[in-house]
Amino acid sequence: MQDLRWPTYANRNLVLDGAVFDDVESGRGSVRVKDRDGKVYLDAVGGIGCLPLGHAHPRWVAAVEAQMRKLVAAAGTFWTEPQQELVAMLAKHMPWSDTRTFLGNTGTEVTEASIKLALRATGRDVVVAFERAFHGRTLGAIAMTANAAYREPYVACLGEDRPAFAHMNVVRAPWGDLDAVEALFVRYPSRIAMVAIEPIQGEAGIFPASREFLVGLRELCTRHGALLGDDEIQAGSGRTGNFLAWTTLVGDDPALAPDIVWLAKAIGGGFPIASCSARTDLAAHMIKGSHGSTFGGNPLACAAAVATLRVMQDEGLYASAKAQLPTLQAIAAEDPEPRVKEIRGSGAMIGIEIAATSASDAQPAAALGDAMQAKGVLVTICSGHTVRVLLPYHAGAAELRQIWTTLRQVLAG
Ligand SMILES: Cc1ncc(COP(=O)(O)O)c(C=O)c1O
């Protein structure tokens, strides 16, 4: 079969047909999909972290179907019930007493929204991002993204003196290095609008920030008048056992909270939706006409997100998500695999790093995605060294054991 899309994706040679419900407990979503030949796969990709309830959770499907019959599109100038319900729910989950939210469709769109808000609210013009970071694929977001292959030939960042379509005032700091961030505040006095961080770097290979680093960034931003931006697109929406990964890593002291929080992926339960939230006084800088999105916050997407949040709460999915990492670590401890260097992450955001076999082996996990797929398990590989596991939150020991056993089999060759 010929792929008539742009050739931008690595091809897994797999046509996914639909979810499989054979062994699904009533009232749950499915964790398995099948291809067109009927071969079944455990899905630990989940659209890259978009399926916290699994595929086609009955309450999620019912909510989307009902909304589809009622109202699917509405301009942002109108209020709708699901839109107002969602922003109220998000406000309850945010670390501030009073929250305002912009609703968009994709992660990169809300990264852009965070940049606009930070520039307007501070009147400054520079953003600090981190080495290995991934914040999306539009121009502002790729400027904040570390991988040069994603940025070039579109964007040159601050200090990069070369012709480019866009010159973006983004500077990068090493991960975990508070002194380096402080040095940037000294180098660009009164210019840094926002320091933006993924509390757990996802695409890079599942690297959680230390509490000390996040608290240190909070202190630096406060001291230098910059905003602290928290990209929770991959780590947020309950994946670590709390609504925000920030809470999991730092705690819920409001004095240590970020200033801007943005979400996408899991928040819609599989339906595209994204949000960018901030305290009301900050959001007030986004005056009429300063931002917008035709589909952002459409009633269908909001109904999907409201249903997702309700199911997470009602079915105890925060707790089951939280249990996944320790469960996998326990399974691995019983049945150790010498080629696994580390199993890290938080809750249902898990990275299994594979050790290099030689000094020249820079991508020891590169072939594992295809190899595990052949054995009926779908995972993605991050940075060539880490197997990423993003299961639905209700998945547990059985699914994690299947992943571990399959990994061990493919490593054994
Ligand atoms: C942390 C983070 N930020 C931003 C994005 C971009 O999201 P999207 O692909 O929905 O634009 C991603 C996607 O993987 C992400 O993981």
Q: Which two tokens stand for residue 110?
A: 């809300």
Structure tokens at 54: 């699994």
Ligand 1 closest atom vs CA 201: 1
Comparing CA positions, the residue from 5, 61, 10, 72 lying closest to residue 384 is: 10
Last residue of a domain, one of 264, 282, 314: 314
Q: Are residues 226 and 310 in the same domain?
A: yes
User: DSSP string covering 219-266, please?
Assistant: HHHHHHT-EEEEE-TTTTTTTTSSSSHHHHHH-S-GGG--SEEEE-GG
Report the pLDDT value the prediction gives residue 2, as an integer from 0 to 100. Answer: 87
**Dist. CA 263 → ligand 1 center (Å):** 9
Measured in Å, residue 231 CA sits from the centre of ligand 1 at 9
**Mean pLDDT score, 11-34:** 94
* For the CA of 198, the nearest atom of ligand 1: 1
Q: Which of 280, 299, 314 is the last residue of a domain?
A: 314
Structure tokens at 63: 């909510």
Burial of 221 (0-12, 13-18, 19+ CB in 10 A): buried
**For residue 108, is it within any domain?**
yes
In a domain, 320, yes or no: yes
Mean pLDDT for 346-354 is 99
Q: Mention every residue, 6+ apart, whose C-beta is less than 8 A from residue 253.
A: none
**CA-nearest residue, atom 4 of ligand 1:** 135
The C-alpha atoms of residue 68 and residue 48 are separated, in whole angstroms, by 25
Return the ligand 1 atom nearest residue 106 CA: 10
Q: Are residues 109 and 222 in the same domain?
A: yes
Residue 211, in any domain of the structure: yes
Residues whose CB is less than 8 angstroms from the CB of residue 381 and which lie 6 or more positions away in sequence, other chains included: 365, 366, 368, 369, 387, 388
Is the domain of 270 the same as that of 383?
A: no
Beta-carbon-side half-sphere exposure of residue 408 (alpha carbons within 13 Å) = 14
pLDDT digits 0-9 by tens, 203-216: 999 999 999 999 99
Q: Measure 236 CA to ligand 1 centroid, in angstroms.
A: 11
pLDDT of 144 higher than 80: yes
Q: Are residues 97 and 204 in the same domain?
A: yes
Q: Which of 137, 239, 244, 265 to mutate to test the pocket of ligand 1 (most atoms within 8 A of CB)?
A: 265
Average pLDDT rounded to a whole number, residues 110-129: 98
Q: Among 274, 289, 314, which residue terminates a domain?
A: 314
Average pLDDT score over the chain: 97
Q: What percent of the chain has pLDDT over 70?
A: 100
The minimum-distance atom of ligand 1 relative to the CA of 136 is: 6
Q: Are 410 and 368 in contact (CB under 8 A)?
A: yes
Rounded Cα distance between 204 and 360, Å, is 20
In 3D space, the residue among 216, 410, 407 whose CA is nearest the CA of residue 328 turns out to be: 407
Using most ligand atoms within 8 A of CB, pick from 134, 349, 383 the residue to mutate for ligand 1. Answer: 134
293 and 191 within one domain: yes
Q: Supply the residue whose CA is at minimum distance from atom 16 of ligand 1.
A: 234
Q: For residue 117, give the CATH number of its domain.
A: 3.40.640.10
With 80 as the cut, is the pLDDT of residue 1 above it?
A: no
pLDDT in tens, 234-252: 999 999 999 999 999 999 9
Are 154 and 283 in a shared domain? Answer: yes
Number of domains in the chain: 2
Residue 133 pLDDT: 98
Same domain, 114 and 169: yes
Residue nearest to atom 9 of ligand 1 (CA): 107
Q: What is the DSSP letter of 193?
A: E
Same domain, 254 and 321: no
Whether residues 210 and 87 share a domain: the answer is yes
pLDDT digits (tens, 9 = 90+) for 162-186: 999 999 999 999 999 999 999 999 9
Between the CA of 272 and the centroid of ligand 1 the distance, in Å, is: 12
- Owning domain of residue 404: 16-56+316-411
| 198 CA from centroid of ligand 1 (Å) | 10
| Cα–ligand 1 centroid distance for 212 (angstroms) | 25
Q: Once rounded to an integer, what is the mean pLDDT over residues 80-100? A: 98
To test ligand 1's pocket by mutation, which of 108, 263, 380 has the most ligand atoms within 8 angstroms of CB? 108
Q: Of ligand 1's atoms, which has the minimum distance to the CA of residue 231?
A: 1
Quick check: is 11 in a domain? no
> Which atom of ligand 1 lies closest to the CA of 232?
1
In this prediction, residues 278-292 reach a mean pLDDT of: 97
In ligand 1, which atom is closest to the CA atom of 137? Answer: 11
Say yes or no: 225 and 111 in one domain. yes
Q: Separation of 109 CA from ligand 1 center, angstroms?
A: 9
Four-CA torsion 184, 186, 188, 191, nearest 10 degrees? 100
Span 259-263, average pLDDT: 99
Residues with CB under 6 A from ligand 1: 48, 106-108, 111, 134-136, 198, 202-203, 231, 233-234, 264
264 Cα: distance to centroid of ligand 1 (angstroms): 7
Average confidence (pLDDT) over 281-310:
98
* Contact (Cβ atoms closer than 8 angstroms) between residue 115 and residue 135: no
pLDDT recorded at residue 202: 98
Q: Is residue 372 part of a domain?
A: yes
Whether residues 256 and 189 fall in one domain: yes
- In terms of pTM, does the model score above 0.85? yes
Residue of 103, 138, 233 to test ligand 1 pocket, by largest number of atoms within 8 Å of CB: 233
How far apart are the CA of 381 and the centre of ligand 1, in A? 15
CATH classification of the domain holding 396? 3.90.1150.10
For residue 133, being part of any structural domain is answered with: yes
With a cut of 80, say whether residue 402 has pLDDT above it: yes
SS3 content of the chain, % helix, strand, coil (to 5): 35, 20, 45
| 23 pLDDT tier (thresholds 50, 70, 90) | confident
**Residue 48 lies inside a defined structural domain of this protein:** yes
Whether residue 320 sits in one domain with residue 208: no
- Other CB atoms within 10 Å distance of the CB of residue 367: 12
The share of the chain scoring above pLDDT 90, in percent, equals 97
- Pocket probe for ligand 1: among 9, 115, 234, the residue whose CB has the most ligand atoms within 8 Å is 234
Question: Which residue's CA lies nearest to atom 6 of ligand 1?
Answer: 136
- What is the sign of the dihedral through the CA atoms of 132, 136, 137 and 141? negative
Average pLDDT of the residues in 135-155: 96
Is residue 5 included in any domain, yes or no?
A: no
Task: Tell me what the mean pLDDT of segment 306-322 comes to.
Answer: 98
